[in-house]
Structure 1
Amino acid sequence: MAYPDTYYRRTMTDPAARPALAGTVDCDAVIIGGGLAGLSTALQLARAGRSVVVLETESIGFGASGRNGGFVSAGYATGEGNIARMAGPASAHELHLLSMEGVEFVRDNIRTLGLQDAKLRPGLMSVLRYDDGARLKADVEDARRRYGEDASYMDRDAVRAVLKSDRYHQAVRHGDAFHMHPLNYLRGIAREIERLGGRIFEQSATTGTDLEGAEKRVKTAGGTVTARDVVFATGGYTGALNARLRRAFLPIATYVMISEEAPDLLATAIATGDAIGDNRRAGDYYRLVDDGRRLLWGGRITTRAASAEGLVRELRAEMVGTYPQLAGLGTELAWSGLMSYARHLMPQIGRMASGVWHCTAFGGHGLNTTAIGGKVVAEGILGESERYRLFAPFGLAWAGGLAGLAVAQLTYWKLQAQDRWRERAA
């Protein structure tokens, strides 16, 4: 199947297709899923000299991994306070350090592999849609003191000097964060895996597994892979492949649109090359692309995919509500992708059984956490560390099935209402 028609597909610099699996292949580790988590795991194993096979149902980067907002920043889908309540303060601190390491892992790959087409751009602004400067200043000082983060406070005047909107109050600028072209990054990682001897098969949906014994078998319509280790890195597209994994997260749809080319109009609203995200749950996130000529805007979540027309209408309402001066800005493309959310909003990373690993449920904060998730799973397979155990408190608990999806949607609507009330109160 071809890539969905997105901005990332249109600007993809490496259109190479890989063959489907045919026959029997032996290797040290087989990775199921050719997204960010799977390729990060495969890369680290290949760098260590292990023979790896990646099986991808569609094409490399086909799902949300290759068509997301492109933000790379520290943290998880839930805050450190919630993590500390679930895992303890010391583990929460270590987990945040891991998330920072994930950011640097991606940055280092772009640098060392010469991935210029990943179009790394520094800087991320986290903006408030209500007035709470004192708390934000305290958060900035805490991040600097505890983690050495490159974080700076921006008051209202500084924010509105670069974001011409009366919706915004204060912000934090994260200098260590960056944004990029995720699909070109993924394609570059795939090339490096193959250069190191790894094999990647596209159009190779896994149809069955035999995970008993020391030698595992993973089957597709065209062949079988035998390996000592199997890694499930399938995210929101797991389907019925692994029942235990599938029941432990909710597939959630998120939406992105790209504007027509209009650099002069965009300059009346946005005067920064930083990526921007607001403080609401599932709020807006956006950034200028094509050297300021287009605007990529994302947001909204639903528990089932909405129509393209409907999502464009909602995203445009958010955009114009924030920047009335962009009312005449046309939309060229819109698309959606499935993310996987666990009930605890933390990644599910670890070992399910001897030689059986999982790395999934990144909850819309995947460009750094998939990187570190793949790295710690690879370390576990190689026997180099047991850092994957830091994620043990966030296990494969049942996510609630259809009832869980309904609760998730109702919770999102409740949070939206709370956001609106708080903004009106400000």
Structure 2
Amino acid sequence: MTGYGDTYYARTLADTSQRASLEGVVSADVAVVGGGLAGLTAALDLARAGRSVVILEAERVGWGASGRNGGFVGPGYATSHTNITRMVGSERAQALHRLSIEGVSIVEGNIDSLGMTDNPRVYGKMSVLRYHDPDSLARQCETMKREFDYGLEVMPTEAVRNVLRSQKYHQAIYDPASFHFHPLNYARSLAKAIESLNGRIFEKSRVTGCDVEGAEKIVRTERGEVRVRDVILAGGGYTDDLVPRLRRSMLPIATYVLLTEAAPERIAEAVRTPLAISDNRRAGDYYRLVDGGSRLLWGGRITTRTTEPRRLADMMQRTMISTYPKLKGMRVETAWSGLMAYARHLMPLIGQLRPGVWYVLGFGGRGMNTTAIGGRVIAEGILGTSDRYRLYEPFGLVWNGGPFGVAAAQLTYWTYQAMDLAKERQAARTA
């Protein structure tokens, strides 16, 4: 057993080695609580700068959403650039989007510099409309080119349907710089790189308490403790009540992914491109070919409670078939879920609680690039090389609303689904 459950990534894991739990007292410069991509990226940058680092992971490296997601790497946040501009103004919003683009470059740079031969990248992503609106896509492409020199292209309906054999789809934005890959292999490669720089990683080492008031911080597990100058809290959707203020600032949201049986001929009748695919709905789906095109990995659906993945997989399967009727009868081989952390403002939670205590979490389904930049700016803050983490300060640790916030998040998602459906139906009537 790999300890990662029955996910596609666990089945295709390149490195299945396990790490020991923490026992006894150790000292370091920095302790990272959480072995997901944000914590790993911060730890790697710190180790590269000569700091001694200890990572404490309750399960295994990349066990949470970092190793269970769709594997899409591209710029942006869980909320739109327009909303971010409304919240913080044009100048800061542009700086934040540039950071999200940099996050993609960080992932690419790590893959290249660490020689991750077990993690090929497939470049290109299509963001598909489920109604006719080429003008809005053209405006979006123009904005990205003008403000960020970022090249996007509009794909007309004929070109889209030539590679995605579905009448549900109209135009798309094609992003040649985004890519998809194996996120769990990436996380474990980061861990190996940290250890090669004398960083220490302890698995099955859930943090049970922290003393963070003094200059020396003490982070405790069941069988040991770490004494450090700085602590990074990077628990993501699995954040518990270790630091109540953080827990009250995020909502754990479950997302779901399925993997089809191997059926390359049937899949090729529907999906004729290796690109990453997502639709434009706020409650949309995303998918990609894996195993050389023999299987389809399909994600979507979110809930505020962990529901049996198989039941949600049945719902996603129905969505897949309604999009691609040719896939009717295709068997779902496995399905899994993972918890993401969302803040009410839909922006990452990145900052400093008090001197020497840092936090980086809340990536809301856009974590492959934002975990990278979040980890980097926190490392820069600890090293004193920049204060770019302060760009995220305006969003803050906003109360999640408690049980009312959970209910509101679920209601909002259902409302989005209804609005998306109504918009599609209206577009179909006027077509």
Per the alignment, residue 228 of structure 1 pairs with 229
For 1:80 and 1:5, how far apart are their aligned partners in 2?
36
Tell me the secondary structure at the aligned position of residue 143 of structure 2. Answer: helix
Report the equivalent of 1:356: 357
**Whole-Å separation in 1 of the counterparts to 2:338 and 2:19:** 22
Q: What residue number does 2:331 align with?
A: 330
> Is the CA contact (8 Å cut-off) linking 2:35 and 2:61 kept in structure 1?
yes
> Partners in 1 of 2:224 and 2:412 — Cα distance?
43
Aligned equivalents of 2:319, 2:150: Cα separation in 1: 31
Match of 2:421 in 1: 420
Distance across 1 between alignment mates of 2:117 and 2:316: 30
Alignment of 1:103-142 (within 5 A): 103-142=104-143
Q: 1:367-420, CA deviations, whole angstroms, 9 ceiling, x for partnerless residues?
A: 000000000000000000000000001110101111100000011111111000
Aligned residue identity for 2:139: A
> Secondary structure in 1 aligned to 2:138?
helix
Task: Report what 2:390 is aligned to.
Answer: 389
Deviates more, 1:346-355 or 1:80-89: 80-89
Per-residue CA deviation, residues 85-131 of structure 1 (Å, 9 max, x unaligned), is 11111000000000000001001111111112222110110000111
3-state SS in 1 of match to 2:266: helix
Identity of aligned residues (%): 57
Which stretches of structure 1, 4 residues or longer, exceed 4 Å deviation after superposition? none
CA distance in 2, matches of 1:131, 1:14: 45
Residue type of the partner of 1:236? Answer: G
Aligned to 2:50: 49
* Equivalent residue letter for 1:278: D
Residue 172 of structure 1: how far off its partner (Å)? 0.4
* Structural RMSD (CA): 0.8
Residue 43 of structure 2 corresponds to residue 67 of structure 1: no
Equivalent residue, structure 2, for 1:256: 257
Q: Which amino acid aligns with 1:214?
A: A
1:116 alignment partner, SS class: coil
The CA distance in 1 between the partners of 2:283 and 2:416, in whole Å, is 9
Secondary structure in 2 matching 1:291: helix
* Structure-1 separation of matches of 2:27 and 2:88: 38
After superposition, give the CA deviation of every residue in 1:193-237 in whole Å (9 maximum; x if it has no partner): 000110000000000000011100000011000000000000110
Structure 2 counterpart SS, 1:415 = helix
Query: Aligned letter for 2:408?
Result: V
Query: Whole-Å Cα distance in 2 between the matches of residues 317 and 209 of structure 1?
Result: 46
What is the rounded CA distance, in whole Å, between the counterparts of 1:282 and 1:192 in structure 2? Answer: 36
**1:327 is aligned with what amino acid?**
K
SS at 2:377 equivalent: helix
Q: Is the 8 A contact 2:209 2:219 kept in 1?
A: yes
User: Which one-letter code corresponds to 1:377 in the other structure?
Assistant: I
In structure 2, stretches of 5+ residues that fail to align are none
Q: Name the residue aligned to 1:101.
A: 102
Counterparts of 1:388 and 1:127, CA distance in 2: 33
Residue 244 (structure 1) aligns with = 245
The AA in structure 2 aligned to 1:257 is L
What code does the residue aligned with 1:358 have? Y
Distance apart, 1:282 and its partner CA: 2.9
Task: Report how far residue 309 of structure 1 moved.
Answer: 2.6
Q: Is the 8 A contact 2:234 2:360 kept in 1?
A: yes
User: What code does the residue aligned with 2:275 have?
Assistant: D
Answer whether contact 2:145 2:152 (CA < 8 A) is retained.
Answer: yes
Where 1:315 maps in the other structure, the secondary structure is helix
Q: TM-score, normalised by structure 1?
A: 0.99
Shift of 1:312: 1.4
Once residues 309 and 228 of structure 1 are traced to their aligned partners in structure 2, the CA distance between those partners, rounded to angstroms, is 45
| Aligned mates of 2:117, 2:69 — CA distance in 1 | 19
Distance 1:129 1:156 in 2: 10
Gaps of 5+ in 1: none
Does structure 1 conserve the Cα–Cα contact (< 8 Å) formed by 2:141 and 2:151? Answer: no
| C-alpha distance in 2 between matches for 1:308 and 1:409 | 17
The range that moved more, 199-208 or 299-308, is: 299-308
1:170 lines up with 2:185 in the alignment:
no
1:325 positional shift: 0.2
Work out the number of aligned pairs and report it.
Answer: 426
Instruction: Map 1:307-318 to 2 at 5 A.
Output: 307-318=308-319
CA distance in 2, matches of 1:313, 1:98: 37
Q: CA deviation at 1:272?
A: 0.7
CA distance in 2, matches of 1:63, 1:117: 21
Counterparts of residues 172-187 of structure 1 (less than 5 Å):
172-187=173-188
